[in-house]
Every structure is written in C-alpha cells, then in structure tokens.
Structure 1
C-alpha cells in the first residue's frame, strides 16, 4: 500500500514569464509545454530516502523500488525504517550500499544524532554541507532535497545528468562545459528550480 504524501512544486505564470524574459530559447519551450507539474515529497525523511534510492539509476527503476519499499514497510518514517535490517531494505531492489545508508540515516535521526528539521532554517549551501556529512549522501542527493522536498527556488544541479542533457538539447549543444552550465544557471537565477523542471522535461522528450 502506497502511503507517501506528495504535492506539486509551487510556481506559476509570474515565474514562467520571468524565465521567458531572461532566455528567449527557454521561453519558446515554456510556451510550447505550458506549465509542467513537478511532484515533490514535502516530508524530509521520506524525500531523503527517495533521493538515495534514485542515485545513478533510471526513473523506471526508481519507481519499481519505491513501490516495493512502500508495499513492504508502509509508512516511511525514521522509526519504521530504523527497525528494518539492511537485508530487508536491500530486498526492495537496491544495492546493499544504499540499503545500509538508508538504515544508518534512519537510526541517526531516530536516536537524535541528526536533526532534519534544522535544514529549514539553513541556506541552500548550508543544507548541502549538512546533508553530505551523512555517509552515502553526496551533493546531487542534497540538491535534489532542496528542490524535491524543500521547494527552494534557485537550484540547478550540475551533477544531474538529465538536467545537463536537457540543457544541451534546448540549446543544440553537442557538449556542455561547466563554465557554460554556470552561465545558464546565473541567467535563470533566482528561479533556477523552475528552469530545472523544464530542463528535466526537455531531457526526456
């Protein structure tokens, strides 16, 4: 039984108009696609587990594993996951490394050794620095938390292959340097997260 509560990333015409005004090419794509809905997971622990599951695997594989986790464990809370063995978590279809990471994170939060709620009062950079202190959590995972749980407005992840692919497709590039990426990121600011939503969509077209 699937129990995770989700919502859509909140943005509207004002944000779409702004991005259109600063980048004509992106604006054409926005006009063609209209508003793109991005499902997010507001609960920080659930979103963190989802982000760990999603490391370096396809969207289809993530969906399959995520469904199994919910069917097997029900509500995804630190208390519920902390009592599971790494083997039980791994049987949902992920690597043992990810299973151990999820188990350890759940136990740290359950024991009070890591305070997820503190993230709400931190800047984007501070959130990333705090999250990457957890074993198995890198910069990409932390940046996905900023967008897909916390709805921070200005996040574009260089570490996200789909975002880079979407950017290359949008601008007709055969390759993309980090310097070029940074130019686009600054152009989209302070609404990089909405730009990311469109770049993700473009990458899968």
Structure 2
C-alpha cells in the first residue's frame, strides 16, 4: 500500500511564547500540555480529499475511510482518483455525495481545469475563495487545507465544531457567539493555527 506522506505542522518557541503572552488562559493550558503535534499532509490534492472525507464526521471515522482509500487505490493523486468510479470511492465508507465530489474534483484537476499548485501564491482569503469554486468544498474544508497542507500560520475556523468546543472548555463558556469567537481569534493572530492545534487537543481531553 502506498501511503500518503505526512509530517508535523511546523512551529516552535516563537509561536508558543507569543500565544502565552497574548492569552494567559491559553498560555496556562499550553504549559500544562507541552508541545502538541499535529499531523499534516503536504500534498495539496491528498489534503483536499482528506478534508472532504472528514466533513461532518468524527476524526476517527475519517481516518478509517482514508486508510481504506489508500489500500484500495494506492496513490491519492488527481489522475489516479479520476480513473476510479464514484461507486468504488463510495465503497471506502463515505456518502455517495462525497464520492461524486471527490471524483469530479480529481477529474477537473487532472484535466487542467483547476490549478492546485497556484494556490501557494495566494493569500489565505484568496485560497478559500478559489477552493470554494469547486463543488463540494465549503469554507471549513478550504480552511482545513490551509492548515493541514499549506501550514498557513493564522487560521482559526469558526466552522470547526471541535475548535469551538475547545474554546468553550478553555474559557468555561456554555455557549460561544461569533463575536466572542472573533475576539479570541484576533487575540491569537498572527499564530491562530497554532492556537487551533491546542484547541483541538483541549476539545478531546
């Protein structure tokens, strides 16, 4: 089985020190937890497919489907996935809707209808806008690609339930409004992605 290459999100003392000084509550949690590693997929297409697989399901379920896809298809590349039928993709354990999205996106990229590598030269907001032109990609999915493939530094996703839950647990809130979320997001800037890594961990503690 050919597995997709992964690495850890690259951050260090500078980001940790900044967040500790910017937000005392988060800083205490970070000190308690030590360095939290977040696995990312540097390949843009593979990361995009993984993000679509992960829409509205648990991380554990997404991982199971992802492993099945790699076992069944080998390389997760636009050309290889474009050759699979939506039925075969769906058999890995996802909804037919997602399977069709993945197959269509693979075909579009394989045929040169979407320049995935060109995303590297765009700002975060431009990347989100561009990715959202693909059927099946919403803002959350695009933000996951920004963090989990492109290692962009300042992404905190309102659309991510686990991040919201992590924030609520961290600050002892029973609910969180978009306004409160924005205040925290701005406080973490320009290292929001590192804050996100800790918030995910907190949400599952």
Q: TM-score, length-normalised on structure 1?
A: 0.99
Residue correspondence of structure 1 range 91-106 to structure 2 within 5 A: 91-106=91-106
* Count of aligned positions: 205
Instruction: Confirm or deny: 8 A CA contact 1:2 1:67 kept in the other structure.
Output: no
Following superposition, the deviation at residue 136 of structure 1 comes to 0.6
Between the aligned partners of 2:15 and 2:64, the Cα distance in structure 1 is 33
Following superposition, the deviation at residue 52 of structure 1 comes to 0.3
Identify the residue that residue 46 of structure 1 maps to in structure 2.
46
Between the aligned partners of 1:135 and 1:107, the Cα distance in structure 2 is 12
Between the aligned partners of 2:112 and 2:13, the Cα distance in structure 1 is 41
Following superposition, the deviation at residue 63 of structure 1 comes to 1.1
Show structure 2 runs of 5+ residues with no match. Answer: none
Between the aligned partners of 1:54 and 1:186, the Cα distance in structure 2 is 26
Identify the residue that residue 145 of structure 1 maps to in structure 2.
145
Identify the residue that residue 192 of structure 1 maps to in structure 2.
192
Are 1:35 and 2:35 matched, yes or no?
yes
Q: TM-score, length-normalised on structure 2?
A: 0.99
Identify the residue that residue 88 of structure 1 maps to in structure 2.
88
Q: Which runs of 4+ in 1 moved over 4 A?
A: none
Residue correspondence of structure 1 range 51-130 to structure 2 within 5 A: 51-130=51-130
Between the aligned partners of 2:120 and 2:89, the Cα distance in structure 1 is 28
Between the aligned partners of 2:58 and 2:164, the Cα distance in structure 1 is 15
Instruction: Confirm or deny: 8 A CA contact 1:154 1:189 kept in the other structure.
Output: yes
Between the aligned partners of 2:60 and 2:185, the Cα distance in structure 1 is 28
Instruction: Confirm or deny: 8 A CA contact 1:105 1:134 kept in the other structure.
Output: yes
Following superposition, the deviation at residue 2 of structure 1 comes to 4.6
